[in-house]
């Protein structure tokens, strides 16, 4: 059974369709990257899955249970971190986690153990001041801890790193990475580096519609096209002319005196490019072969 | 519900609500006998200086009680609305509730816990005001009726809880605390105005409870005469709260 399943999910706000016939299955134990530009319908989908919004049509299932009909029976098995986690500002981190533990009716040794583990996990064990004085990063870490207080089987994380500085982002990503294989993590984001770092499966959404779903390796192998970067010390017009019309050249981009060549035939490109450079009689300063980044794949798919 | 009862109690203990609500009612309780006793003496020399000669009636304990209920209606009820308008709407608008309701807690339990704890605190604060008013009145005027005054305060407590239910229900339905307070104020004003136009309303509506409380301290009526208006007010308050909970339970957060 999939941890999460969406069957023909539709969510409309008046005439605007935020999520349009979305079908998706998230295997248990995966870290699932839910990608898409702003306004693609990622947050709306998570809000339906967490019982905060009702679907216009279709079903959203968690462990086979339709959340619109019976959210209560699965609520104790999930954790949710919204994009902007909000707390009672007068509470301390410990008090807020105690409040969450009360909501889950955790008692005795288990309660004490979860509280202490989560306070350590979010690095706020020794912080006794009210949450109102916390930095954004501290709130995000506490948000992750409150989502995990019940040892949830599924975690919904909505843009958990989007507003963090590099240090805070690294901390939160390390925390997510440490959950891999133990929990099912549904990670909504538009930061592709984060997906490359922690996710094993991805789905891409555009204007409420699913445009791609795959595991990361398959995605890369399907869309992977070698990219050559050549930087010259003179005018590049002649070299560009030589590249035009060649069947093994998929795309040519220029940035100043740097030429970026995408190819569909690695062996031919490796053999032919140095010859073309020699024919153009251009002094070469830099030559590098690389792979398309996830960002480039993302742009290609969305295009 | 236990988790939210605990949280609301803690919130009262840790925020300005702990002192602000009882201090306000204490102030209203002390101000009424003080103004009843000293206002004529303050006014007398000023009027004499202007050549005006008015014989002011000698005020007693019952007049102090009347002034107390007037203060409660004019200031106390407004304060109840202002103190409670943010209880749900602020948590909704700020996103705190969205995070909380994904956990195993029913939304009606959230509203009921707030009603029990904060409604209880308003009643305790009213008792603080009433006790301070009684003892200060005894101190200034000598003898003051205690039983009738206690009964009148019980009648007024029902009115306070009704206004609180109205505001809490508005906060549960609406997202903005300003909108919640405007709806509560409009409801409060409409009820008060209705008493001028309808005899039935003047006798049985929630707004009539102030008059019933005053009549009890004046000895014009007994507490038994206020039973029907109290029951009607309680039923209306419960209906408003149930309606607010019904809508809140189905709302997208």
Q: Which tokens belong to B36? A: 């009843």
Residue A289: per-residue pLDDT: 83
Under the banding of pLDDT at 50, 70 and 90, the label for residue A155 is very high
Computed over every residue of chain A, the mean pLDDT equals 90
Pairing of strands A65-66, A57-62: antiparallel
Report CB contact under 8 Å: A82, B95.
yes
- In the numeric block, the tokens 């005018």 are attached to A235
Count of CB contacts below 8 A, A vs B? 63
Percent of chain B with pLDDT over 90: 72
Whether pLDDT at B197 is above 90: no
Whether pLDDT at B63 is above 90: yes
Rounded CA-CA distance B25/B71 in Å is 10
Q: Given CB atoms, is B139 within the 8 Å cutoff of chain A?
A: no
Question: From the CB of residue B52, how many other CB atoms can be counted at a distance below 10 Å?
Answer: 9
Q: Which tokens belong to B117? A: 């704890």
Residue A194: per-residue pLDDT: 87
- In the numeric block, the tokens 């604060």 are attached to B125
Mean predicted confidence (pLDDT) in B59-78: 93
Q: Given CB atoms, is B14 within the 8 Å cutoff of chain A?
A: yes
For residue B14, list chain A residues with Cβ-Cβ distance below 8 A.
90-91
For residue A143, list chain B residues with Cβ-Cβ distance below 8 A.
99
Give the three-state DSSP class for A29: coil
Of A80, A86, A99, which has the smallest distance from its Cβ to B7's Cβ?
A99
Query: Higher pLDDT residue, A139 or A191?
Result: A139
Give the three-state DSSP class for A156: strand
To the nearest whole angstrom, how far is the Cα of A92 from the nearest Cα of chain B?
11
Q: Please write the tens of the pLDDT for every residue from B139-160.
A: 999 888 999 999 999 999 999 9
Of A203, A148, A164, nearest in space to A31 by CA? A203
Residue A259: per-residue pLDDT: 92
Q: Given CB atoms, is B235 within the 8 Å cutoff of chain A?
A: no
Residue A300: per-residue pLDDT: 73
- In the numeric block, the tokens 């967490």 are attached to A50
Backbone angles phi, psi at A158, to 5 degrees: -100, 110
Task: Give span(s): CATH 3.30.70.920, chain A.
Answer: 224-302
- Burial (Cβ within 10 Å: 0-12, 13-18, ≥19) of residue A235: exposed
Q: Given CB atoms, is B243 within the 8 Å cutoff of chain A?
A: no
Rounded CA-CA distance A240/A223 in Å is 24
Q: Given CB atoms, is B46 within the 8 Å cutoff of chain A?
A: no
Query: Higher pLDDT residue, B176 or B162?
Result: B162
Q: Please write the tens of the pLDDT for every residue from A229-286.
A: 999 988 888 899 999 889 999 889 898 899 999 888 888 998 999 999 998 888 889 9
Report CB contact under 8 Å: B104, A104.
yes
Give the three-state DSSP class for A60: strand
Q: Given CB atoms, is B100 within the 8 Å cutoff of chain A?
A: yes
Report CB contact under 8 Å: A72, B104.
yes
Mean predicted confidence (pLDDT) in A143-157: 93
Element (H, E) at A78: strand A78-81
Report CB contact under 8 Å: A90, B11.
yes
For residue A88, list chain B residues with Cβ-Cβ distance below 8 A.
7, 11, 96
For residue A75, list chain B residues with Cβ-Cβ distance below 8 A.
102-104
Residue A106: per-residue pLDDT: 94
Between CA A34 and CA A44, with CA A38 as vertex, the angle to 5 degrees is 60
Of A148, A147, A142, A149, nearest in space to A168 by CA? A142
- Give buried/exposed letters for A31-69 (b at 16+ CB in 10 A, else e): bbbbbbeeebbbbbbbbbbbbbbebeebbbbbbebbbee
Beta-bridge mates of residue A34 = A188, A203
Percent of chain B with pLDDT over 70: 98
Report CB contact under 8 Å: A52, B100.
no
Rounded CA-CA distance B241/B109 in Å is 12
Whether pLDDT at A291 is above 80: no
Under the banding of pLDDT at 50, 70 and 90, the label for residue B176 is confident
To the nearest whole angstrom, how far is the Cα of B13 from the nearest Cα of chain A?
11
Pairing of strands A227-232, A258-263: antiparallel
For residue B6, list chain A residues with Cβ-Cβ distance below 8 A.
99, 102
Residue A6: per-residue pLDDT: 96
To the nearest whole angstrom, how far is the Cα of B112 from the nearest Cα of chain A?
15
Q: Please write the tens of the pLDDT for every residue from A184-219.
A: 999 998 888 888 889 999 999 999 999 989 888 887
Computed over every residue of chain B, the mean pLDDT equals 91
For residue A95, list chain B residues with Cβ-Cβ distance below 8 A.
10
* Superfamily of domain covering A4-215: P-loop containing nucleotide triphosphate hydrolases (3.40.50.300)
Report CB contact under 8 Å: A76, B104.
yes
Report CB contact under 8 Å: B103, A99.
no
Under the banding of pLDDT at 50, 70 and 90, the label for residue A73 is very high
Percent of chain A with pLDDT over 70: 99
Under the banding of pLDDT at 50, 70 and 90, the label for residue B56 is low
Residue B227: per-residue pLDDT: 94
Whether pLDDT at A164 is above 80: no
To the nearest whole angstrom, how far is the Cα of A300 from the nearest Cα of chain B?
35
Whether pLDDT at B32 is above 70: yes
Residue A91: per-residue pLDDT: 96
Backbone angles phi, psi at B148, to 5 degrees: -65, -35
List chain B domain ranges: 2-250
Task: Give span(s): CATH 3.40.50.300, chain A.
Answer: 4-215
Backbone angles phi, psi at A214, to 5 degrees: -170, 165
Q: Given CB atoms, is B104 within the 8 Å cutoff of chain A?
A: yes
Mean predicted confidence (pLDDT) in B203-222: 91
Question: From the CB of residue B192, how many other CB atoms can be counted at a distance below 10 Å?
Answer: 17
Give the three-state DSSP class for A149: coil
Under the banding of pLDDT at 50, 70 and 90, the label for residue A297 is confident
Mean predicted confidence (pLDDT) in A133-157: 92
Report CB contact under 8 Å: A76, B14.
no
Q: Which ipTM did the prediction report?
A: 0.86
For residue B7, list chain A residues with Cβ-Cβ distance below 8 A.
88, 99, 102
| Closest residue in chain B to residue A46, using alpha carbons only | B102
Rounded CA-CA distance A256/A235 in Å is 9
Q: Please write the tens of the pLDDT for every residue from A75-93.
A: 999 999 999 999 999 999 9
Of B15, B95, B106, which has the smallest distance from its Cβ to A90's Cβ?
B15
Q: Is the distance from CB of B167 to CB of B85 less than 8 angstroms?
A: yes
Interface probe for A, chosen from B89, B102, B106, B109 (most Cβ of A below 10 Å), is: B102
Element (H, E) at B35: helix B17-49
Helix residue spans in chain B (DSSP H) = 2-14, 17-49, 61-71, 77-84, 89-93, 96-100, 107-141, 147-173, 177-197, 199-204, 208-218, 227-250
Report CB contact under 8 Å: B99, A86.
yes
If contacts are CB pairs under 8 Å, which of residues 76-115 in chain A contact chain B? 76, 78, 80, 82, 84-88, 90-91, 95, 99-100, 102-105
Q: Please write the tens of the pLDDT for every residue from A18-28.
A: 999 999 999 99
- Domain A224-302 classification at class level: alpha beta
Query: Higher pLDDT residue, A53 or A263?
Result: A53
Residue A122: per-residue pLDDT: 87
Of B56, B32, B35, nearest in space to B44 by CA? B56
Whether pLDDT at B12 is above 70: yes
For residue B107, list chain A residues with Cβ-Cβ distance below 8 A.
none
Please tell me the least confidently modeled range out of A271-280, B21-30, B42-51.
B42-51
Residue A196: per-residue pLDDT: 84
Residue A302: per-residue pLDDT: 72
Write the CA distances from A126 to A9, A23, A97, A122, integer angstroms. 44, 44, 14, 11
For residue A70, list chain B residues with Cβ-Cβ distance below 8 A.
none
Whether pLDDT at A38 is above 90: no
Mean predicted confidence (pLDDT) in A90-118: 95
Under the banding of pLDDT at 50, 70 and 90, the label for residue A39 is confident
| CA torsion through residues B115, B215, B55, B36, sign | negative
């Amino acid at each position: 059974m999939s941890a999460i399943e969406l069957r023909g999910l539709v969510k409309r706000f008046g005439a605007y369709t935020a999520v349009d016939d979305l079908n998706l299955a998230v295997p248990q134990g995966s870290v699932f990257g839910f990608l898409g530009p702003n306004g693609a319908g990622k947050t709306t989908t998570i809000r339906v899955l967490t019982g905060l919004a009702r679907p216009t049509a279709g079903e959203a299932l968690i462990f086979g249970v339709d959340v619109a009909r019976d959210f209560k029976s699965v609520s104790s098995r999930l954790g949710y971190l919204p994009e902007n986690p909000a707390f009672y500002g007068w509470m301390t981190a410990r008090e807020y986690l105690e409040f969450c533990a009360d909501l889950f009716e955790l008692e005795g040794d288990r309660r004490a153990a979860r509280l202490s583990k989560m306070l350590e996990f979010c690095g706020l064990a020794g912080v006794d001041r009210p949450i109102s004085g916390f930095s954004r990063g501290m709130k995000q870490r506490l948000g992750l801890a409150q989502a995990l207080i019940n040892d949830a089987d599924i975690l919904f994380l909505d843009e958990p790193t989007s507003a963090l500085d590099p240090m805070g982002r690294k901390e939160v990503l390390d925390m997510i990475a440490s959950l891999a294989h133990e929990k099912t993590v549904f990670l909504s984001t538009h930061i592709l580096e984060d997906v490359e770092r922690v996710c094993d499966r991805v789905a891409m959404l555009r204007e409420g519609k699913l445009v791609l779903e795959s595991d990361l390796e398959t995605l890369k192998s399907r869309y992977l096209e070698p990219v050559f970067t050549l930087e010259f010390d003179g005018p590049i017009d002649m070299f560009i002319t030589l590249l035009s019309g060649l069947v093994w050249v998929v795309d040519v981009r220029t940035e100043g005196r740097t030429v970026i060549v995408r190819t569909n035939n690695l062996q031919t490109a490796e053999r032919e490019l140095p010859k073309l450079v020699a024919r153009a009689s251009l002094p070469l300063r830099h030559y590098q072969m690389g792979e398309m980044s996830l960002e480039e794949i993302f742009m290609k798919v969305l295009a | 519900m236990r988790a939210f009862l605990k949280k609301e109690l803690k919130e009262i203990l840790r925020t300005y609500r702990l002192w602000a609500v009882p201090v306000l009612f204490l102030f209203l309780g002390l101000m009424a006998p003080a103004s009843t006793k000293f206002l004529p003496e303050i006014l007398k020399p000023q009027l004499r200086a202007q050549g005006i000669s008015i014989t002011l009636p000698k005020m007693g304990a019952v007049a102090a009680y009347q002034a107390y209920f007037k203060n409660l209606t004019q200031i106390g009820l407004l304060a109840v609305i202002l103190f409670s308008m943010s209880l749900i709407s602020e948590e909704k608008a700020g996103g705190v509730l969205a995070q909380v309701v994904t956990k195993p807690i029913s939304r009606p339990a959230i509203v009921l816990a707030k009603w029990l704890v904060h409604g209880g605190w308003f009643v305790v604060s009213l008792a603080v005001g009433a006790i301070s008013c009684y003892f200060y009145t005894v101190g200034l005027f000598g003898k003051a009726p205690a039983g009738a005054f206690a009964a009148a305060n019980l009648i007024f407590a029902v009115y306070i809880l009704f206004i609180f239910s109205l505001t809490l229900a508005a906060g549960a339905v609406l997202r903005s605390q300003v909108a919640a307070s405007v709806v509560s104020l409009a409801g409060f004003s409409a009820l008060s105005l209705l008493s001028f136009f309808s005899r039935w309303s003047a006798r049985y509506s929630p707004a009539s409870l102030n008059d019933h409380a005053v009549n009890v301290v004046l000895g014009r009526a007994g507490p038994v005469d206020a039973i029907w208006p109290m029951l009607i007010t309680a039923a209306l308050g419960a209906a408003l709260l149930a309606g607010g909970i019904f809508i809140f339970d189905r709302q997208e957060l």
